[in-house]
Chains A and B, each alone.
Chain A
Amino acid sequence: MSGDEGLSAAPVGARYASIQARLPSLDVGVYRISLHLFDSARKSGPARVKELAYLVPETLYHPTAIFGGLMREEGVEDGLCYVSRPIRAFRGANGDEGPPFGGKVFLVFVDKDSSVFTWRWCPCCPKDLTLPENHVPRFVRRVL
């Protein structure tokens, strides 16, 4: 787990920002996020920046589910996938706020070293609209 300082307290040149999250234990913990991902969001435009600004912290703090164990080509990798159904989404070239995208949930991925490494929307499971499609067998287990 990273330190408990906020981004505003991060020293100049710091490679990571900190963000609070609900852990599978329901305790509150701190994850970190590489500033390289800030840069990739900026390059992707306002919608991705606003997803990072609003939806990522909301999903980490108020997940509807958390899955553990990420399937990879070479086997299972430790890590977590946070799931939420946001009440808003950001659209178009300006990232205008509007209602959420229908039939989709929002995912935030965290690696085994407590680093957030990506976020995006995903079609939801037809049987449970709060979960991502193919969560079985995509993830090893549900931890929340």
Chain B
Amino acid sequence: MSEMNHHFTAAVLGLLSNPEPFKPFTFYNQEGDCIEFIARPGSYYEQRMDNLVTLYRSNDDEEFTGFSIKGIRSLLRKFAELPGLAILIEDGKVKIAHILLAHIMKPEFSPDNLPPGVAIKTYNTMIGEADKNDAECDITECLA
């Protein structure tokens, strides 16, 4: 590995020196233009639901770990065409469960298009977990 990457590895491992108890969290990933909701700690793998939503499952026990919602800027442009949805954004923050609900209520959304082995109840799980944790995300950067 290059010297630069050795420095990188050492710096990242320094993050382990200040462990904190895990709490579910949400953040807007500006580079990826996606919102990520992480409900459990640990390594995860992806299960793509569609071009918008990717589910995360634990590599340890297959349990729900979180999800990401991609293309947030584009999604907000679509929301702008539905003025009623604007009330869901308060002080630049939006509840993650509301974004998922808006997505599955689009006329073009069809459970038939979900990948094999993915049931519509998976969306129920995601919405339920986001709701239970009162997950919301500051999307001020996207609204500018």
Contact = CB atoms under 8 A, between A and B. Distances in A.
A101 B13 CA distance: 22
Nearest to B59: A101
A72 B74 CA distance: 10
A6 B4 contact: yes
A111 B45 contact: no
B134 interface: no
Interface residues of B, number: 48
Contact of B38 (A43, A46, A50): A43
B46 interface: yes
Interface of A: 4, 6-8, 17-20, 28, 30, 34, 36-38, 40-54, 57-58, 61, 71-74, 89-93, 95, 101, 104, 107, 109, 111, 113, 115-118, 120-123, 134, 138
Given A41-B12, A49-B15, 8 more contacts: A18-B4, A36-B27, A41-B15, A44-B41, A48-B43, A57-B8, A73-B71, A122-B46
A61 B45 contact: no
Given A73-B70, A111-B32, A51 B27 contact: no
Contacts of A89: 43, 59
B12 A53 contact: yes
Interface in B35-68: 36, 38, 41-48, 50-52, 56, 59-60, 68
A11 to B, nearest CB: 14
B4 A44 contact: no
